[in-house]
């Protein structure tokens, strides 16, 4: 089932426990509330003028001590065993060094490859060694139901095995200063072969994730509108959809003329997307990052003419 | 309205004991921190301890213990309505308390001289464990020193009250409680001694 | 039921001493007046905290972010937390109703140390003022959250030191009150008032006092260390000097978890007084409730690290603390079931206090059950530090302690000020309050499950709808509250004179005039039976 885009084994483990406890809780809540209401009505002054003085009942006390105790212990046990699973990374897991600093995430792979977003092959265990360069941060992937604090002078670890292609939020959960709420990134779950291609592909290997390219994917560039052709060729579509789907980067659909919240040096601005904005966004992506997205856009060299095509094409997407 | 509530020495004593409990827990927090850190840095704590002057520590212990004794004697004297002796004993206690502070201040001065104080450039060069050790050393002895000062102030007031007969044979609960407080100060020191001076 | 036509002596509200008016109040050692001093000061600070909470909700409507910067928002939730925790729920019921009714309930003229009692109030005020000052002085309002986690709290340029010192002073106030209550209960019970003849409110206050005594010093020293760190850099929490942030977290929660039971136990005590009075029957399972209070106090001091499951503790520690967390939930369950059973075969006289008491049970159950979810490790790693937590603790602290406070206020108000309020108005205020409350805080629970982290100035688009719902809820809630306090305020000045025993209660306070005379009892009563004996009445 897909509940709150459950996208990893850990998510299934966590949700299983949640539903168990949730079921119990609802049952008890209804039971208690119903009982209260019934008593209040049934034994109201009118219907029941003289109260019976009942001191108590040992049997009942024992029952409602032991039953909740047993239930609570079962909750503990279920929660604990599943947690142990979520915590013990398998030996063959690939180890990624996650570094948190005010206010950004960075990921380093065993072969020294660095990235601002976390690329992960689907169905493969990935182990996270989480560090912090300054204060305490929290590494949180809601769709994986995973969280581990990044504590300075300490290495905490967690692991996951993604079960769904896609791009998922990474959020910082421990108050770490003024831009705590902007300390975001993304996990990009990609097919293994694509991941390998990127991972072993040296410096200029294209970033993985092309497979999300929606229907607009097309073998033959010549029959595409020139702008789209460029986007396809330059691999922009790895991170940008043209049909509104969110990916690593914002979709390019209906982008032109839109109000965009961008971060310039950590402070938020609101701008309307126009020619010059698009130019800057493409020619030097890092100096103004769209809110909610990692500063992950690589600088992709383009000729002036290509650039114009791209912009003209983006305009057509409204 | 307190005047109307009948006098209850036992209650007062109970209250004082409860207060002492909170004091012990207060230092307890520091002791937890100490054990946690010592467990983390056994060797560094050993070295840190070596830096401290054990003999001075022991002398101070003796000083405090005797001062505790003299307080008890003062109380006994009051119970016997021997005002003069009581005042004499209280005086000695104050003197001993001050001696303790003087010795301690010499110790601290020496540490500062060797640049072994928090944020000192020299300390920063030492391994982290030792920095923590001295951080704890100054915190705990400092807080204890503060308690000594408070204790001395209270005892001075007591001395004055004895002099002015506000504390007498039939009404010495205040002196008794002050004595309890002074014993606490003493007991805490008994713990600090092995933790720091005898850590080596 | 002796109903004095005219009180034999002047009520405690009348100045008899040499001092008159305000001075008479500021120098009083009468436990009842001190109780009212706490009530008035607390409500004022409380309204500040409420205002802040209200603004925080507005911020979550992104349209308001022009007005408030991220820095301000961080300051807002920190101050909101500090005020609500240290100035409102922790002193909360013990300071107000404990002070006012503990001596009366055990048949005493006052607490053991009346002057110390007044001193605690002054400590409280000083702490409160310092907390507010920290807003405007130094490097600006602290931005660390009420948890002051190191090393951020050591590095931030904001005025953490003063805020932390304020909390330190408030801790003192709380400790002294605890000492006072324990001694009072041990020494000043009326003749014949055996331990198991005490009203259960006293048991609740007794267990609370012990927690205050044993837990508060830990946070005191911890906060002291933070100050020392900031001024002298002693480096115990600072990793760059070999210190350990986790040590801070442990020390902080060793106090702050027990503190949550400081908040709830007196609330439970008040509920336990109210239900029998309106069910016109004795409490179900007196001893079970008395012991569960002590059990909560005991076990509750062993579960602190359930706030640190994701901090990287050893897997053994996480296991043990999760287990203990489950155990501590049991006594609360026992209480809930006993309360409900107390309604069974009663003769229920439905009045505002009972209405709020039952609402308390419902909201506290939700809060508690979400607490149990958080205690389950596999769930905690997902919801820790999300709005789910925020939802949980508002259910327990506001839905629990807060509503218990309302219940207690409506229950004892006539006794305390000698005037009756309009029941209609109170009932009317319940509806916006209840609906708004659940919109607001259940919304937060859902947000948390969706993965909305707490202490976020801006949120991602997918969370916006729920945030709007919650904010609308907060408007209803505040509306209800204003109606509530409005009604009481009106009654305070214009309300009709209250009878001595408007609810037909049988605990000692109802044998007194409303308001009581200066030393409560002309003659100290002799107790011959348990606290909730309704037989004599029906005969
Ligand atoms: C009044 C205050 C109060 C109270 C009473 C409680 C009560 C409980 N709390 Fe809560 N808690 C807080 C205030 C409180 N809490 C605060 C302020 C925080 C956040 C601090 C911060 O980070 O800022 C917090 C956070 C918090 C956490 C940490 C979450 C995290 O940060 O990851 C946890 C985890 O275990 C927890 C658990 C519990 C449990 C198990 C109880 C139990 O005592 C609840 C017991 C009650 C019940 C269980 C309900 C009644 C029983 C029944 C209806 C019986 C039937 C039920 C069953 C058989 C299932 N709480
Ligand atoms: C009792 C404690 C209490 C109470 C009553 C409240 C009341 C409110 N809280 Fe509170 N809240 C906290 C304790 C409390 N809060 C704490 C500890 C935190 C964590 C801070 C941190 O992260 O460090 C927090 C955090 C917090 C957040 C999360 C901030 C974030 O993480 O980004 C939000 C979000 O909107 C919020 C909203 C509100 C609102 C809208 C109200 C209210 O405005 C709702 C309106 C109504 C009332 C406030 C009246 C309640 C009445 C009573 C309780 C009894 C009345 C008694 C007397 C008058 C004496 N609070
Ligand atoms: Cu990093 Cu919050
Ligand atoms: Cu807790």
| Per-residue pLDDT reduced to its tens digit, B4-37 | 446 778 888 898 999 999 999 999 989 988 988 9
Which residue of C235, C254, C522 to mutate against B (max B Cβ within 10 Å)? C235
Q: Say how far apart CA C230 and CA B116 lie, in whole Å.
A: 18
The residue with tokens 């100045």 is C15
Q: Which residues of C touch A153 (CB under 8 A)?
A: 239-240, 244
DSSP A162: B
Strands A94-101 and A125-132: parallel
Distance (Å) from CA C371 to ligand 1 centroid: 3
C515 cis-preceded (ω within 30 degrees of 0): yes
Nearest CA to ligand 2 atom 55: C402
Q: Which residues of A touch C325 (CB under 8 A)?
A: 76
Counting every residue written for chain B, the total comes to 200
pLDDT computed for residue C1 by the predictor: 39
Which residue of C183, C186, C254 to mutate against B (max B Cβ within 10 Å)? C183
Q: Which residues of chain A have pLDDT under 70?
A: 1-3, 209-223, 235, 238, 245-248, 265-266, 292, 294-296
Cβ contact, residue pair B28, C217, below 8 Å: yes
- Domains in chain B, start-ordered, CATH in brackets? 9-197 (1.20.120.80)
pLDDT computed for residue A80 by the predictor: 93
Burial label for C55, CB within 10 Å (0-12, 13-18, 19+), is middle
pLDDT computed for residue A218 by the predictor: 43
Q: Give the full edge-to-edge strand order of the sheet including A184-190.
A: A118-121, A184-190, A166-172, A137-141, A146-150
Question: Touching B: which chains, 3+ CB pairs < 8 A?
Answer: C
Candidates C339, C399, C404, C407; CA nearest to C370 is C399
Cβ contact, residue pair C110, B2, below 8 Å: yes
**Residue A149 in contact with partner chain C when CB distance is under 8 A:** yes
| String of DSSP letters for chain B | -GGGSPP-HHHHHHHHHHHHHHHHHHHHHHHHHHHHHHHH-HHHHHHHHHHS-HHHHHHHHHHHHHHHHHHHHHHHHHHTT-HHHHHHHHHHHHHHHHHHHHHHHHHHHHHHHTT-STT-HHHHHS-HHHHHHHHHHHHHHHHHHHHHHHHHHHHHHHHHHHHTTSSBTTB-HHHHHHHHHHHHHHHHHHHHHHHHTT--
Structure tokens at A297: 């856009």
**Residue A3 in contact with partner chain C when CB distance is under 8 A:** no
Question: Touching C: which chains, 3+ CB pairs < 8 A?
Answer: A, B
Helix (H, G, I), strand (E, B) or coil at C293: helix
> What burial letters (b/e) apply to B172-192, b meaning 16+ CB within 10 Å?
bbbbbbbbebbbbbbebbebb
Nearest CA to ligand 3 atom 1: A137
C151 cis-preceded (ω within 30 degrees of 0): yes
**Residue C299 in contact with partner chain A when CB distance is under 8 A:** no
Ligand nearest to the CA of A104: 3
Helix (H, G, I), strand (E, B) or coil at A109: coil
Q: Which residues of C touch A148 (CB under 8 A)?
A: 310, 312, 381
**Cα-Cα end-to-end distance for chain B:** 56
Which residue of C379, C399, C461 to mutate against A (max A Cβ within 10 Å)? C379
Q: Say how far apart CA C481 and CA B100 lie, in whole Å.
A: 58
Q: Say how far apart CA C328 and CA C260 lie, in whole Å.
A: 12
Helix (H, G, I), strand (E, B) or coil at C525: coil
Candidates C539, C522, C519, C511; CA nearest to C2 is C511
CB-ligand 1 contact for C329 (6 Å cutoff): yes
pLDDT (tens digit, 0 to 9) for every residue of chain C, 539 residues total?
344 444 467 777 777 777 777 777 888 888 988 999 999 888 888 888 888 888 888 877 766 666 777 888 888 888 888 888 888 888 888 889 999 999 999 988 888 888 899 999 999 999 999 988 888 777 778 888 899 998 888 888 788 888 889 989 999 899 999 999 999 999 888 888 888 889 999 999 999 999 989 888 998 899 999 988 888 888 888 888 888 899 999 999 998 999 899 999 999 999 999 999 999 888 998 889 989 988 998 888 889 999 999 998 888 999 999 999 999 999 999 999 999 999 988 889 899 999 999 999 999 999 999 999 999 999 999 999 999 999 999 999 999 999 999 999 999 999 888 899 999 999 999 999 999 999 999 999 999 999 999 999 888 878 888 988 998 998 899 899 999 999 999 998 888 888 888 888 888 888 888 788 888 888 888 888 888 887 654 43
User: What's the ipTM?
Assistant: 0.85
More confident of the two residues C209 and B123: C209
Q: Helix (H) and strand (E) counts for chain A?
A: 6, 13
**Residue A52 in contact with partner chain C when CB distance is under 8 A:** yes
Q: Say how far apart CA A30 and CA A35 lie, in whole Å.
A: 8
Helix (H, G, I), strand (E, B) or coil at C210: helix
Handedness of CA B142, B148, B149, B150 (dihedral sign): positive
**A window 263-292, beta carbon within 8 A of C:** 268, 291-292
Structure tokens at C294: 């002590």
Cβ contact, residue pair B135, C114, below 8 Å: no
pLDDT computed for residue B97 by the predictor: 93
Cβ contact, residue pair C112, B5, below 8 Å: yes
Cβ contact, residue pair B18, C213, below 8 Å: yes
pLDDT computed for residue C357 by the predictor: 94
**Residue C29 in contact with partner chain B when CB distance is under 8 A:** yes
pLDDT computed for residue A213 by the predictor: 40
Q: Which residues of A touch C338 (CB under 8 A)?
A: 56, 61
């Amino acid at each position: 089932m897909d509940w709150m885009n459950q996208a990893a084994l850990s998510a299934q483990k966590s949700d299983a426990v949640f539903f168990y406890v949730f079921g119990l809780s609802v049952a008890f809540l209804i039971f208690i509330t119903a009982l209260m209401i019934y008593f209040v009505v049934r034994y109201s002054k009118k219907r029941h003028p003289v109260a019976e003085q009942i001191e108590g009942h040992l049997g009942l006390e024992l029952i409602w001590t032991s039953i909740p105790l047993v239930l609570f212990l079962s909750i503990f046990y279920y929660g604990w065993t599943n947690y142990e699973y979520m915590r013990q990374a398998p030996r063959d897991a690939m180890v990624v060094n996650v570094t948190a600093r005010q206010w950004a995430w960075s990921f380093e792979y065993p072969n020294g490859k660095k990235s601002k977003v976390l690329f992960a092959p689907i169905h493969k265990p990935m182990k996270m060694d989480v560090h912090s360069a300054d204060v305490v941060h929290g590494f949180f992937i809601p769709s994986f139901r995973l969280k581990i604090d990044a504590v300075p002078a300490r290495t905490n670890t967690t692991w996951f095995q993604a079960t769904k292609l896609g791009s998922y939020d990474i959020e910082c959960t421990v108050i770490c200063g003024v831009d705590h709420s902007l300390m975001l990134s993304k996990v990009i779950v990609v097919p293994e072969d694509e991941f390998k291609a990127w991972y072993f592909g040296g410096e200029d290997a294209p970033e993985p994730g092309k497979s999300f390219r929606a229907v607009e994917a097309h073998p033959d560039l010549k029959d595409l509108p020139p702008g789209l052709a460029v986007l396809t060729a330059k691999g922009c579509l790895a991170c940008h959809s043209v049909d509104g789907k969110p990916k690593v980067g914002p979709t390019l659909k209906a982008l032109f003329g839109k109000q965009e919240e961008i971060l310039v040096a950590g402070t938020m601005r609101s701008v309307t997307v126009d020619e010059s904005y698009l130019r800057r966004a493409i020619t030097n992506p890092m100096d103004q990052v769209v809110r909610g997205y990692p500063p992950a856009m690589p600088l992709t060299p383009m000729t002036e003419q290509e650039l114009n095509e791209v912009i003209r094409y983006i305009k057509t997407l409204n | 309205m307190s005047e109307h509530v009948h006098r209850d020495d036992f209650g007062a004593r109970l209250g004082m004991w409860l207060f002492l409990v909170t004091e012990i827990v207060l230092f307890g927090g520091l002791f937890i921190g100490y054990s946690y850190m010592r467990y983390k840095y056994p060797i560094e704590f050993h070295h840190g301890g070596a830096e401290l002057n054990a003999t001075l520590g022991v002398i101070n212990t003796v000083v405090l213990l005797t001062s505790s004794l003299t307080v008890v004697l003062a109380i006994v004297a009051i119970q016997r309505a021997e005002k003069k002796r009581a005042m004499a004993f209280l005086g000695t206690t104050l003197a001993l308390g001050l001696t303790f502070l003087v010795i301690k201040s010499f110790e601290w001065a020496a540490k500062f001289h060797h640049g072994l104080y928090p944020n000192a450039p020299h300390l920063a060069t030492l391994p982290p464990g030792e920095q923590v050790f001295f951080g704890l050393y100054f915190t705990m002895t400092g807080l204890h020193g503060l308690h000594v000062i408070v204790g001395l102030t209270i005892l001075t007031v007591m001395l004055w009250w004895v002099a002015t007969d506000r504390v007498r044979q039939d009404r010495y609960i205040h002196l008794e409680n002050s004595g309890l407080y002074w014993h606490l100060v003493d007991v805490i020191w008994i713990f600090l001694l092995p933790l720091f001076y005898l850590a080596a | 039921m002796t109903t004095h036509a005219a009180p034999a002596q002047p009520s405690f509200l009348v100045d008899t001493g040499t001092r008159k008016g305000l001075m008479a109040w500021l120098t009083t050692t009468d436990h009842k007046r001190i109780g009212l001093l706490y009530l008035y000061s607390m409500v004022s600070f409380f309204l500040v905290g409420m205002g802040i909470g209200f603004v925080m909700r507005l911020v979550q409507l992104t349209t308001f972010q022009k007005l408030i910067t991220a820095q301000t928002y961080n300051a807002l939730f920190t101050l909101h937390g500090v005020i609500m925790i240290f100035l409102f729920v922790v002193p909360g019921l013990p300071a107000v109703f404990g002070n006012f009714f503990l001596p009366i309930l055990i048949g005493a003229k006052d607490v053991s140390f009346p002057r110390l009692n007044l001193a605690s109030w002054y400590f409280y005020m000083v702490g409160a003022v310092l907390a507010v000052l920290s807003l405007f002085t130094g490097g600006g309002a602290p931005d660390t959250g009420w948890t002051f986690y190191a090393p951020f709290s050591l590095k931030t340029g904001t005025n953490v030191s003063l805020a932390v010192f304020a909390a330190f002073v408030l801790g003192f106030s709380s400790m002294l009150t605890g000492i006072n209550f324990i001694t009072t209960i041990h020494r000043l019970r009326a003749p014949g008032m055996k331990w198991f003849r005490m009203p259960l409110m006293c048991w609740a206050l007794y267990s609370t006092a012990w927690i205050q005594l044993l837990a508060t010093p830990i946070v005191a020293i911890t906060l002291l260390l933070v100050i020392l760190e900031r001024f002298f850099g002693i480096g115990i929490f600072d990793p760059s000097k070999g210190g350990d942030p986790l040590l801070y977290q442990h020390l902080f929660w060793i106090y702050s978890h027990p503190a949550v039971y400081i908040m709830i136990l007196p609330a439970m005590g008040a509920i336990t007084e109210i239900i029998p009075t309106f069910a016109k029957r004795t409490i179900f399972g007196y001893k079970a409730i008395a012991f569960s209070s002590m059990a909560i106090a005991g076990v509750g001091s062993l579960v602190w690290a359930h706030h640190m499951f994701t901090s990287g503790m050893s897997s053994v520690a996480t296991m043990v603390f999760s287990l203990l967390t489950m155990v501590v939930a049991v006594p609360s369950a026992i209480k809930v079931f006993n309360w409900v059973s107390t309604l069974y075969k009663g003769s229920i006289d439905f009045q505002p206090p009972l209405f709020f008491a039952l609402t308390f049970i419902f909201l506290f159950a939700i809060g508690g059950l979400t607490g149990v979810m958080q205690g389950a490790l596999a769930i905690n790693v997902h919801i820790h530090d999300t709005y789910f937590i925020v939802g949980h603790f508002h259910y327990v602290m506001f839905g629990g302690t807060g509503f218990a406070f309302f219940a207690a206020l409506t229950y004892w108000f006539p006794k305390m000020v000698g005037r009756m309020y309009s029941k209609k108005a109170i009932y009317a205020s319940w509806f916006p309050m209840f609906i708004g409350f659940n919109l607001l805080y259940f919304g937060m629970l859902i947000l948390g499950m969706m993965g909305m982290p707490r202490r976020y100035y801006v949120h991602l688009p997918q969370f916006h709808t729920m945030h709007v719902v919650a904010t609308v809820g907060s408007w209803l809630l505040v509306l209800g509250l204003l109606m509530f306090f409005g009604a009481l305020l009106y009654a305070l000045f214009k309300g009709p004179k209250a009878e001595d025993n408007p609810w037909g209660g049988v605990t000692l306070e109802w044998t007194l005039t409303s308001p009581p005379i200066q030393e409560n009892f002309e003659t100290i009563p002799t107790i011959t039976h348990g606290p909730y004996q309704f037989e004599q009445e029906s005969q």
